[in-house]
Amino acid sequence: PPPPPRFSSRRRHTRCQIQSRGLGDVYKRQVLSYLIKQKGITIQTDFGTGEVDAEGHKLVAYDEQEIPYDLLVSIPVHGGAQFVEDSGLGNELGFVPTHKNTLRAKQHEDIFVLGDATDLPSSKAGSVAHFQSEVLEENLQHAMAGRSLDEGFDGHANCFIETGFGKAILIDFNYDTEPLSGKFPLPGIGPMTLLGESRLNHLGKLAFRWVYWNMLLPGRPIPMVDARMSMRGKSDTTPAVAALDEV
């Protein structure tokens, strides 16, 4: 992998290619573009960060492009935990190569992996680790009993995105399905809106604090929220941008 950007007040010519996994064309086109325009955010594409000129308050690309800044908030290349790297189980970035559906380590049949330790192309959100744990629990029992493993984890992620002014967006997606519009958790009823900005979504995020401490951490099942992504209540058509104005 390319080295991370260098941070110094002297000009350097370290080439850095930054890659990201998207959440789907519909999500980016219909939701993010609307919010970005609404909040006056400018996006600079095709910019490979090479150096931060701290004295000049400039972000410098490897091809000498420059972007001035007042306050820089940067996210470095993510890597796995140090103990994973020290154990020899991790890859070059410190993540454990993991079967995407069974959660068994690819190189060690007696090891199962979940959460931030995996190299899976899924979100690192807490909801993903929770969904993974349900599949992992089954597969631990299958492995000890000598039975075939359940390829049940589908990359399911479910999370709120705060958008400000007492509103939020709720998205639900997996390996193969990008975020879709619809209602959650009751199909057609909600009360929360998928892929839409609403006050109810914000209230749902606040209510999740209680759910986190009193249901998720103690390992109690969360009603109507399954480890596998459900298509119930979702639309496979492109959502209208007007849905983002819902209150």
pLDDT in tens, the chain (247 residues): 445 444 433 333 322 233 334 445 555 556 677 788 888 888 888 888 889 999 999 999 999 999 999 999 988 888 999 999 999 999 999 999 999 999 999 999 999 999 999 999 998 888 899 999 999 999 999 999 999 999 999 999 999 999 999 999 999 999 999 888 899 988 889 899 998 899 999 999 999 989 889 988 887 888 888 899 999 888 865 444 434 444 3
Q: Tell which residue, 171, 185, 175, 173, has the closest CA to residue 221.
A: 185
Give the integer Cα–Cα distance in Å for 186 and 5: 45
Q: In the numeric block, which tokens belong to residue 211? A: 């759910």
Q: Does residue 17 contact residue 2 with C-beta atoms inside 8 Å?
A: yes
Q: Does residue 87 contact residue 95 with C-beta atoms inside 8 Å?
A: no
Give the pTM.
0.76
Q: Which residues of 189-198 are buried (b: 16+ CB within 10 A; e: fewer)?
A: ebebbbbbbb
